[in-house]
Structure 1
Amino acid sequence: MIWIQFAILLVAILIGARMKGIGLGVMGMVALLLFVFVFRMQPADPPIDVMLIILSVVTTAATLQAAGGMDFLVRLAEKVLRSKPSLIVLIGPLTTFVFSVFAGTAHITYSLLPIIAEVSTKKRIRPERALSISVIASHLAVTASPISAATAALVGILGGAISLPQVVMVSIPAALVGILAGVAVCWKKGKDLDKDPVFLEKMKDPEFAKSIDTDTSGSRAPLLPGAKTSVIIFGLAVLMIVLVGAFPNLLPSFEPGHPNLAINKLGNIKMAAMIELIMLGAAAGIMLICKTSTAAVAKASLFTAGASAVISIFGVVWMSATFMQTNQGVIEAALGNMVRSAPWTFAIAIFLLSILLFSQAATTQALMPLGLSLGIVPPHLVAMFHGSNGDFVLPGYPTLLAAINFDRTGSTHIGKFLVNHSFMIPGLVAVGVAVAAGFFFAGILL
């Protein structure tokens, strides 16, 4: 019976992935309906915390975008990227990593990828080298960000055994080591542009050749008046989240034994609730101080992307959690001996599921509780956290497609066999090394 249920789960994910957007969410609900009415499976708890964190963080990021703060940050990044064009393969991914850690989402890189592509092309460095590892770096940043839904989900699952700052202390350096390994394999990836037959053929077109060397750095509209102020407010909110995670005694406590969505059984406010409160409070501050309209926030591209992510996670995580809850005994029996003798092998399961779920938060919510029940200690689960970045394997994630579209030279591509694309090798190397580095740093710091 479990194999029939698993087949339904896989079919729902595959069809949802082809539908794109909210497809994963709605197909997850279809599978869940079959689980409940056909197989009489008891539904698990829906991922309310993860959904609310995504909504609050993305709403605040969209408010930052509507206030002009995102434009201000992009211009800062552009100065950095253009300052050392010969090092774009190194500076590009480090920039996207820092931005995505700060914002808690990889979707912020849409504004940076065209700059990376342009700088690479003008310097006649193959854009595939910088773009591929820059996209992977932005994904690793999600599992290194203190305000991402994935990080908050992990902290909640670990139940206070490891705090938010401790997770970040391991995940940030581990991600940076993984990114540097990815940079190393991308440094000479593919043919140089002056030897690439596809690029040389395109350069025969005078219009294309002229557009390649046109300087676009100065063609920008003036910044909105509250742009810099909005960045300061957002930054203070991120800092406050880290502080309350490091010093939970700063928060009020309540009578134990009455848990709810915001309070745990000990009477302490959950970290997820604090992220939601602080982020939406920051959004209100940006709107009031920077005079940003709510209509502009609702129209921001980040707000639309966040709404789509919420629906997708709602359906696919609820479906996966129900499957895991119903078949927990069978799964534990199958994986138990292997995982207990070699705990690192659980990272492979995390990676494989993340390929299908296209979400670090969804993968964390679905598999990390299973890891605890299998007896994996919390420090090891933190070390494996970067393994949930398998969303690059199937080239359907929006950041991958954006990078391909921004590269006018055609060097960044999807291969003939679908999985032999530009992001595969740097992704496998960066994620694999990040997990290995995670075990090293967890052993030292936790």
Structure 2
Amino acid sequence: MFWIEFAVLLGMILIGSQMKGIGLGVMGLVGLFLFIFIFKMKPTDPPIDVMLIIMSIVTTAATLQASGGLDYLVSLAEKIIRSNPSNITFIAPFTVYFLCLFAGTAHIVYSLLPIISEVSAKKRIRPERPLSISVIASHLALTGSPMSAATAALVVVLAYQGALVDIMMICIPASIIGLLVGCFSVFKKGVELDKDPIFIEKMKDPVFAKSMEADTENTQVQLKPGAKTSVVIFSIAIVLIVIAGAFPSLVPSFEPGVKTLAIAADGSLTMVTIISVVTLTASAAMMLITKTSTADVTKASLFNSMASAVVSVFGVVWMSSTFMNSNSDIIQTALGGIVSEYPWTFAIAVFIMGVLMFSQAATTKTMMPLGIALGLPPSSLIAIFPAVNSDFVLPGYPTLLAAINFDRTGSTKIGKYVINHSFNVPGVVAIGVAIMVGFLLGTFLM
């Protein structure tokens, strides 16, 4: 029966990922329907905590976007990328990483991909190199950003004071080292652009050749009046969340009692409460001070993406947690021994689930409680955390497709066998190194 139920779980995830958008969520609820009414499984609680965090964080990021703050950040990143085009394979991914680390979303990379492609092509550096590792950098930044839903989900799962600081302290330096090694892995990837037969053929077109020589540098973008102010407010929100995580004694506490979504059993505020209140207060401050209308916020592309993310997490996590809970004895018996002796092997399971789920937050909420049930310490779970970024393996994620489309030279592509695309080598290398460094840091820092 276990394997039939497991086949249903995988089937719903695979069908949902092909449908894209809210497909993962609705197919997750189809799977839950089958689990409850056909297999008689007892449903777990829905992932309300992660859904609230996604709503709060994405609304605040959308407010930053509507007020012009994201445009301002992108303009700064563009100046950095254009400042040293010869080293774009290293400069671009680190610029993307720190920008996404600050903003808590990978979607900001869309604005930088055409710049990376253009600058590298004009320098005759194969665009595949900086584009592929920059996309990986945008994903890797989410596992460590205090403003990402994935990091917030892990904080909720770990459920101990100081978890956010531990995650940042281990995952950020581990990811930076992993990203650096990932840059070296693509530094000489493929033939040089001026020797690429596809590019040579494209250059025979006079229009294309002229566009490769045209100077589009330093195109001035008109920023909104409150752009810089919104970035300052957003920064203050990040600082407040980190302080609350690092110094819980500064946060109000109440009488111990029954654990709720808002208050822990010891009377302290949960991170769901802290993140929701701080981020949405910052969103309100941005709207009031910069005179950004609520209509502009709801029209922002980030805000529109929130509905898809919430529905996806709602369905697929609820289905997966119900399956895991109903089969916990079988799973722990099968994995308990090897995971206890070799904690890093759990990273393989997390990586595989991340490939299927296309969501770092959903993968975190689904797999990390299983890691706790298997007896893994917090330091190991934090070290393994970057494995949730495996959504690049199947080339259907929007950031990958955008990078392929923005590369007019044709060097960034999907291979004949689908999975042999431009992003797999840098992705596996960067994440693998980040996990190894994370385990090393965990032994010294925790």
Amino acid at match of 1:225: P
8 Å contact from structure 1 (residues 162, 378) kept in 2: no
Q: Match for residue 180 of structure 2?
A: 180
Query: Where does structure 2 lack aligned partners over 5 or more consecutive residues?
Result: none
Aligned-pair CA distance for 1:220: 3.9
Q: Does 1:284 align with 2:274?
A: no
Q: d(CA) in 2 for partners of 1:305 and 1:120? A: 30
TM-score, normalised to structure 1's length?
A: 0.98
Q: What does residue 169 of structure 1 align with?
A: 169
Partner of 1:388: 388
Which residue number in structure 2 is paired with residue 67 of structure 1?
67
Q: CA deviation at 1:284?
A: 0.4
Partner of 1:203: 203
C-alpha displacement at 1:161, in angstroms? 6.1
Cα distance in 2 between the residues matched to 1:313 and 1:192: 42
Amino acid at match of 1:82: R
2:193 corresponds to? 193
Q: Match of 1:411, SS?
A: coil
**Aligned ranges for residues 22-421 of structure 1 at < 5 Å?**
22-160=22-160, 162-421=162-421
Q: Is the 8 A contact 2:162 2:247 kept in 1?
A: no
- 1:163 positional shift: 2.0
Q: Please state how far the C-alpha of 1:369 moved relative to its aligned partner.
A: 1.1
Counterpart residue identity of residue 374, structure 1: L
Check the 8 A contact 1:113/1:131 in 2, yes or no: yes
Residue 72 of structure 1, CA deviation: 0.7
2 CA distance for matches of 1:170 and 1:272? 22
Q: Which runs of 4+ in 1 moved over 4 A?
A: none
Deviations 1:76-120 (A, max 9, x none): 001100000011000111011101111111111111111111111
CA contact (8 A) 1:395 1:414 kept: yes
State the alpha-carbon separation in 1 of the partners of residues 106 and 36 from structure 2. 34
Separation in structure 1 between the aligned mates of residue 402 and residue 30 of structure 2, nearest angstrom: 29
Q: 1:378 to 1:162 in 2, by over 3 A?
A: farther
Q: Distance in 2 between matches of 1:216 and 1:222?
A: 16
Preserved CA contact (<8 Å) 1:355 1:392: yes
Code of the residue aligned with 1:23 in structure 2: it is G
How far apart are residue 35 of structure 1 and its match? 0.6
Most deviating of 169-178 and 145-154: 145-154
TM-score normalized by the length of structure 2: 0.98
Is the contact between residue 161 and residue 378 of structure 1 (CA under 8 Å) also seen in structure 2? no
SS in 2 for 1:343: coil
Within 2, Cα distance between the matches of 1:167 and 1:440? Answer: 14
C-alpha contact (below 8 Å) 2:142/2:148 kept by paired residues = yes
Q: Deviations over 1:21-67 (max 9, x none)?
A: 11101111111111111111111111111111111111111111111
Equivalent residues of 2:162, 2:246 under 8 A apart: no
Percent same amino acid among aligned pairs?
A: 62
The DSSP-based 3-state class of the residue aligned with 1:207 is: helix
Match in the other structure for 2:439: 439
- CA offset at residue 413 of structure 1? 0.5
Aligned mates of 1:23, 1:308 — CA distance in 2: 9
SS of match in other structure, 2:146: coil
Q: Is the 8 A contact 2:161 2:248 kept in 1?
A: no
Aligned to 2:15: 15
Distance 1:152 1:219 in 2: 36
> Does the 8 Å contact 2:364/2:388 carry over to 1?
yes
**Bigger Cα displacement from structure 2, 205-214 vs 423-432:** 205-214
Aligned residue-pair number:
446
Q: 2:59 and 2:215 mapped to 1: Cα distance?
A: 33
CA distance in 1, matches of 2:130, 2:210: 22
Query: Is contact 2:395–2:419 with CA below 8 Å preserved after alignment?
Result: yes
Q: For 1:41 and 1:213, how far apart are their aligned partners in 2?
A: 63
Contact 1:178 1:429 (8 Å CA) reproduced: yes
Give the CA deviation at 1:212. 2.2
Distance 1:390 1:222 in 2: 36
- The one-character-per-residue Cα deviations of 1:401-430 (angstroms, maximum 9, x if unpaired) are 111111111110011111000000111100
User: Contact 2:261 / 2:272 at 8 angstroms: preserved in 1?
Assistant: no
Measured against aligned partners, the alpha-carbon deviations of 1:3-32 in whole angstroms (never above 9, x if no partner) come to: 111111111111111111111011111111
| In 2: Cα distance, 1:272 partner to 1:100 partner | 21
Instruction: Give the deviation of 1:258 after TM superposition.
Output: 2.8
Where 1:391 maps in the other structure, the secondary structure is helix
Per-residue CA distance 1:389-409 (angstroms, 9 max, x = gap): 111100011111111111111
Q: For 2:44 and 2:162, how far apart are their aligned partners in 1?
A: 25
